[in-house]
Chains A and B, each alone.
Chain A
């Protein structure tokens, strides 16, 4: 990592530190203060949006580990989120287990299912692997719809999350729960990329043959990537289940799976900040178009028939994504890194 002029690392620990300068520390503390005081100045609706962002972020981090770091293309992520959501629902509703058991159980079961669907990755890669993960999406949803324990087509209720007698009923308490877990996941993913496992993932992504020659066990690390990626999806699913309170298989559509891939591409594949940028960008864009732009157009242009502005939402949404991919194909994380470089060199332009 490049550092501002005059900043040096004197030992290995300093070199490996995540927070390395005073400015960095102040910015992170400032950001955490803003995040943790958000319930004081945001309405329930926006807290709800942030909750959705937090949950999506956890799932996107998992997908980024799988696709961005390890290079294993998965287009069935919503299916793995569904596994986690239904596992948490069954454990806490039908078996009346505590929330934390449901949360961890959701991650583990989702991770194990991920391993099963990740097995073809040993033999196939790229688009072929993508097809097998699409199959995972449809198989999982079919099982959910036809297995009585999940409530089938009718769905299943999920109680509020609770820890040690404290029930997370309000939007703000759910916000704290989700944001803390999301922060832990971000921290884990950031560190994972710098470990032996993370480096093995990157080696496999860059050239799996060369990685194998170097002694990296492809089967082990590819399946480990599937387990970790799907574990995160499971955690996200469990939080989603407790947040919404009711599950139905239609909530985990193939379109959602595609959107998750879009988020990590827009954010920046294989970077720790990429999922954060991608998720915030897509979810906020969705909300602004739905809640701000379309109602604004409808109320401003009353000479047109009601509902005329609805088509604008998907068109604009698609257009913004296309423009992004054309103008910044390396993602928002890359743009952020360019901005930071410019800041470090300031006032010189080179």
Chain B
């Protein structure tokens, strides 16, 4: 009898707790108390992209800690960060973005293009602005409410190809580029850019059979000897890799073992070109690999470097030890979000933003994001401006190479042109 009563009481209590939690959440007004500005941030801090997502989340949150504690927030208003780990899970990120909207956030950010791709239509339908650190053309071509913090994977390819033609290529005729692409939007960005611009850049693409089909690999690939053997037989001048760090390192190592490299030029897009690449491939093997990256490196003489270094050393020394460049990317992302909020408060006023509803989202987008002009981001990456019809906020990348185990810049900022992919018949097919 006692047992039964206990069980029933426990079940009733549990049922009440579960049913009441959402009601509390639903009844909660978007917090305007204490005059805050809310933003949603979601990062894949756990899951299969955690190697990038964790330091990116650290960069985001540390930067807002700095903004609130040392700068007194934005225009005097504290920035309230609603942060959620999406675990690199596409179904989870959709409900997270709905949660951001319910919480009264003014905009949201993701670090990966995959998570933005999964959630963007929900945001576009609601007119809720989002910004992805790493992006591919599909998220803003044609432009709607989603913005790219930095140039996309296609821009990387174009910037590097231009650099190569201007500074490295000394031969006659067209240099032959082989593309080794990750089998998702990261790889697809480079492929689309190559399809669109190879002729005008004066380069020849070595496709894997038919045009538009690059040499592909998976994120958990353990050997690319077979694909590289086929590429080697085609005598490429350049092997361009658009992938994440681990497979990029694997391909560089395999190319080295096959005797292809050194000998040909190897370059990497920005998703794969970090210190992790050198850690995995080894400094000797990675020596001379080119890469494109849209931010500065640790230790560079830019205004935001000192404070960022102070916070990473205080909060996440493990990221600093690895000289993690993804941390820089998301510190910069938070600075841009703060600048957007500042611009919106100045242009539209706090009251227009306070509710965190559809009108506030519109005000933030029109009076904040679309009014951005030449914001320097503390020198951490290329200047940020909004140009009508182009939702990439920063259009510049720099070319680096690996020298003596370090990532060393070779150029100043190179602007990548806007490509209207949606005007090509093959785009999205």
Contact = CB atoms under 8 A, between A and B. Distances in A.
Nearest to A315: B46
Interface in A142-157: 145, 148-149, 151-157
Given A153-B187, A342-B7, 5 more contacts: A43-B25, A46-B25, A155-B117, A244-B94, A313-B87
Nearest to A309: B85
B94 A52 contact: yes
B103 to A, nearest CB: 8
A307 interface: yes
Given A313-B85, A349-B4, A148 B98 contact: no
Nearest to A156: B428
Contact of B99 (A155, A291, A294, A347): A291
Contacts of A314: 46, 87
Contacts of B4: 342, 346, 349
Contacts of B183: 145, 153
A269 B65 CA distance: 48
A251 B23 contact: no
Given A42-B26, A152-B429, A251-B90, A307 B54 contact: yes
Contacts of B85: 290, 294, 310, 313
B83 A298 contact: yes
B190 to A, nearest CB: 11
Contacts of A246: 117-118, 120-121
Interface string B1-33: 100100100010000001001110110000000
Contacts of A294: 84-85
A92 interface: no
Interface in B181-211: 183-185, 187-188
A294 B57 CA distance: 14
B95 interface: yes
A46 B22 contact: yes
Given A151-B429, A248-B118, A305 B26 contact: no
Interface in B297-316: 315-316
Contacts of A305: 58, 315-316
B170 interface: no
B91 A42 contact: no
Contact of B117 (A45, A148, A248): A248
B101 A295 contact: no
A41 interface: yes
A169 B121 CA distance: 12
B188 A153 contact: yes
A44 interface: yes
Interface in A238-263: 240, 244-246, 248-251, 253, 255-256
A35 B185 CA distance: 39
Interface string A309-350: 011011000000000000000000000000100100011010
A40 to B, nearest CB: 10
A70 B120 CA distance: 39
A46 B95 CA distance: 8
Interface majority SS on B: helix, strand, loop or mixed?
A: helix
B121 A245 contact: yes
Contact of B61 (A45, A255, A306, A346): A306
The 5 A-B residue pairs with the shortest CB-CB distance, nearest first, are A245-B121, A306-B61, A43-B26, A251-B90, A246-B121
B153 to A, nearest CB: 11
A145 B186 CA distance: 13
A248 B90 contact: yes
A287 interface: yes
Contact of B95 (A42, A45, A251): A45
15 contacts: A42-B22, A43-B102, A45-B103, A148-B429, A153-B184, A153-B187, A248-B90, A250-B90, A250-B117, A250-B118, A253-B90, A306-B57, A307-B54, A307-B61, A311-B46
A44 B84 contact: no
B122 interface: yes
B176 interface: no
- Sort chain A's interface into a size bin: 35 or more
Contacts of B117: 155, 246, 248, 250
A244 B92 CA distance: 11
Nearest to B98: A48
Given A149-B429, A155-B117, A307 B22 contact: no
Nearest to B429: A148
A291 B102 CA distance: 12
Contacts of A48: 94-95, 98-99
A286 interface: yes
A151 B114 CA distance: 15
Interface string B135-154: 01110000000000000000
B131 to A, nearest CB: 17
A267 B337 CA distance: 43
A44 B96 contact: no
A291 B114 CA distance: 20
Nearest to B427: A154
B224 interface: no
A111 B332 CA distance: 48
A295 B188 CA distance: 35
A100 interface: no
A307 B45 contact: yes
A153 to B, nearest CB: 4
B45 to A, nearest CB: 4
B348 interface: no
A84 to B, nearest CB: 15
Contacts of A42: 22-23, 26
B46 A313 contact: yes
B82 interface: yes
A251 B91 contact: yes
Contacts of B429: 148-149, 151-152
Given A148-B429, A313-B87, A46 B61 contact: no
A292 interface: yes
Q: Name which of A45, A291, A292, A307 has the most chain B CB atoms within 10 A of its CB.
A: A307
Nearest to B141: A154
A284 B1 CA distance: 31
A145 B218 CA distance: 12
A245 B122 contact: yes
A171 interface: yes
Nearest to A307: B57
B152 to A, nearest CB: 12
B122 A290 contact: no
A45 B89 CA distance: 17
A49 interface: yes
A288 interface: yes
Contacts of B114: 248, 250
A158 B84 CA distance: 26
B98 A171 contact: yes
B326 interface: no
A152 B98 contact: no
